[in-house]
Amino acid sequence: MSNVVSLDFEKLDGLVPVVTVDHESGECLMQAFMNRQAWELTLSKRYAHYYSRTHHRIWKKGESSGHVQRVVEIWVDCDEDAVLLRVEQKGGAACHTGYRSCFHRILTDDGLEIRGERVFDPKEVYDSQE
């Protein structure tokens, strides 16, 4: 499948931005980056893999929390330098803060307002793994 499209990893120093949405509702779950290795893993495993700019490593979404993303469709933009993943979000939460979506805050006239409920407590999930 990867020979069908050749993503342009050069524009952002080896990375491409990835927007991930729920395949049924279209809800935007998160935005992240992939390097070539994360792209190849996503294609071959059909589970979302990303590149962490903070930790400088590949990570399978949900490797710590169990909230994995099974890839349903992969869309590539016209310039082949951005990806849209349509996924089945397992476990109900995509955000490491415990919310379903990383976009759980809305800017109002009064500031940022949180929308939605936490699906899990990140301290219980991530602190227990140290």
CATH number, domain of 80, equals 3.10.20.810
Tell me, yes or no, whether 40 lies in a domain. Answer: yes
User: Does residue 105 sit in helix, strand or coil?
Assistant: strand
Are the CB atoms for 38 and 15 separated by under 8 Å?
Answer: no
For residue 130, what pLDDT is reported? 47
In a domain, 11, yes or no: no
Which H/E stretch holds residue 73? strand 69-76
Quick one: 17 exposed, middle or buried, by C-beta within 10 A (0-12, 13-18, 19+)? Answer: middle
In a domain, 38, yes or no: yes
Report how many domains make up the chain: 1
Residue 69 is assigned to a structural domain of this protein: yes
- Round to whole Å and give the CA distance between 11 and 35: 12
pLDDT for residue 126: 86
Q: What residue type is 76 in one-letter code?
A: V
Q: In this predicted structure, what is the pLDDT of residue 29?
A: 98
Angstrom distance (rounded) from CA 42 to CA 70: 9
Q: Tell me which DSSP letter residue 119 carries.
A: S
pLDDT at 129: 59
Q: Kindly list the distances between the CA atom of residue 14 and the CA atoms of 23, 39, 48, 114, in Å, as whole numbers in the listed order.
A: 27, 11, 18, 34
Does residue 94 form part of some domain? Answer: yes
Q: State pTM to two decimals.
A: 0.91
Tens-level pLDDT at each residue, the chain (130 residues):
445 789 999 999 999 999 999 999 999 999 999 999 999 999 999 999 999 999 999 999 999 899 999 999 999 999 999 999 999 999 999 999 999 999 999 999 999 999 989 999 999 988 865 4
User: Could you tell me if residue 7 is inside a domain?
Assistant: no
Query: In this structure, is residue 5 part of a structural domain?
Result: no
Q: Which domain holds residue 111?
A: 16-129
Q: Identify whether 72 is part of a domain.
A: yes
